[in-house]
Amino acid sequence: MPIYGARYRVAFVCFAMAGFAAVLLMFRNEMSQVTPLFSLPFVDSDVPAAFKTLLIGITLEALPFLLLGVVVSSLLQVYVPEQTLQRIVPKHPVAAVAAAAAVGLVLPFCECGMIPIVRRLIRKGVPPYVGVVFILAGPIVNPIVFAATYLAFRTRPEIAYSRLALAYAVACAVGLLISRLYRGNPLRNRAADLQGHSHSDPHGKLTAALDHASGEMFEMGKYLIAGAAITAAVQAIVPQSSLAAIGSGEWSSHLFMMGFAYVLSLCSTADAFVAVSFLPTFPVGSLLTFLVFGPMLDLKSTIMLLSSFKWRFVLLLTGCVAALVLTASLLYEQLGMP
C-alpha cells in the first residue's frame, strides 16, 4: 500500500505543476486583463504585470530542473550506499578534499539530502573536513546544476563554468581550513546514527526513492515559488535606479546578493533562473557570490546543520564559507574575468 501512496504523491505533484503551467500559458492574455484589479493608487500600474511576467518566467524555467534534480537525487540516495563514497576517499587531506569535491561531478546529490548523508559518513569514520566538502560542493559541482546554470545564462555561458570552478575551489579551501582549525567530533551527541533502511526487494527501494522524491518536491517547490515571488517583487517594485546603485558598489552588490541567497534558501537547480534576472544591473562577480554562497549556506541549511552539528563547528564553517566566497568573487572581478 505505501508504494501506491508514494506514487500518487509524485504523480500529483507532476500533474499539478504541468496543469498550473498549462493554465498560465493558455490564459496569459486573459490574466493580463485582471491585473488592474490589484492596482493600488500608490503602486505603478505596470508593477502587477511585471510581477506576473517575472514570476511565471522564473517558475516555469526552473521547475523542470528542480524535478529532475529531485528524482536523480532520490534514486542515488537510495540505490548508492554511503560505503561507495567511503572507499574512494584518500588518506591525505589535500587529495581527500579534491576527491570529495569531484564526487559531485558524477553523483549529483541535492543540498537537502547532503547533511543526513554526511552525518552518517562521519559516524562511519569519514573525516569531518571531507564531509564538509561533500556538503559544500555536492549541490553545485554536478551536471544537473551546471546544465540549469548554462541554460539560464545562455547568453553568458562563461558564468556556468565560473560557478563550477569557484565552487570547487572554495569547497576545497574550506575543507582544508576545517582540517586545520577544528579537532574532534563535530556531531551533536543527540544526533542519531541514521543507517537507513535495508530493502531486499526492489519494490522497497523504489518506495523509499518515491517517498523521498515526493517529500523533497513538496519541500523545495514551496521554496522555489517563494523565492521566485520575492525576486519578482523586488524586480517589479524596487526602482531600477536603486538596484543599480546597490549593484554598482564594490562591496554592496556582493553583500546584498549574499544576504539575498541566504534568506531565499533556493534549490541549486533553480537559483540560476533567479540570478539571471539581476544580470542587467549587477556585476557578474556578485551574481557568482549568489550562485556559490546560496547552495553552500542558507537559512534552511543552517537550521539543518545546527540540528546535527555542534554550534561552534557551524559557526566556524559559516565564517569560512562567507569569507572565502566573498574573497573569491572579488578576486574574480579584480582579475577582469569575463
Q: Are 52 and 30 in contact (CB under 8 A)?
A: no
pTM score of the predicted model: 0.69
Confidence at residue 178, expressed as pLDDT on a 0 to 100 scale: 94
CA 5 to chain centre: 28
Domain segments of the chain: what residues? 2-32+44-239+246-334
Confidence at residue 328, expressed as pLDDT on a 0 to 100 scale: 94
Sign (positive/negative) of CA torsion 289, 294, 296, 302? positive
Confidence at residue 149, expressed as pLDDT on a 0 to 100 scale: 94
Q: What are the backbone angles phi and psi of residue 309, rounded to the nearest 5°? A: -120, 160
Grid cell listed for 122? 562521519
Confidence of residue 274 (pLDDT cuts 50, 70, 90): confident
148, 113, 119, 151: which is closest to 132 by C-alpha?
119
- Strand residue runs (E) in 166-234: none
Confidence at residue 20, expressed as pLDDT on a 0 to 100 scale: 47
Q: Are 229 and 55 in contact (CB under 8 A)?
A: yes
- Long-range contacts, 111-114 (Cβ 8 Å, 24+): 111/135, 111/138, 111/139, 111/267, 111/268, 111/295, 111/301, 112/73, 112/216, 112/219, 112/220, 112/267, 113/73, 113/74, 113/77, 113/212, 113/216, 114/138, 114/139
Most confidently predicted of 5-14, 35-44, 82-91? 82-91
Question: Where does residue 330 rank: exposed (0-12), middle (13-18), buried (19+ CB within 10 A)?
Answer: middle
Q: Are 89 and 126 in contact (CB under 8 A)?
A: yes
pLDDT digits (tens, 9 = 90+) for 88-105: 678 788 999 998 888 777
Confidence at residue 107, expressed as pLDDT on a 0 to 100 scale: 65
pLDDT digits (tens, 9 = 90+) for 240-268: 556 666 766 778 889 989 988 887 777 78
Confidence at residue 205, expressed as pLDDT on a 0 to 100 scale: 77
| Rounded (10°) CA dihedral 259, 262, 266, 272 | 40
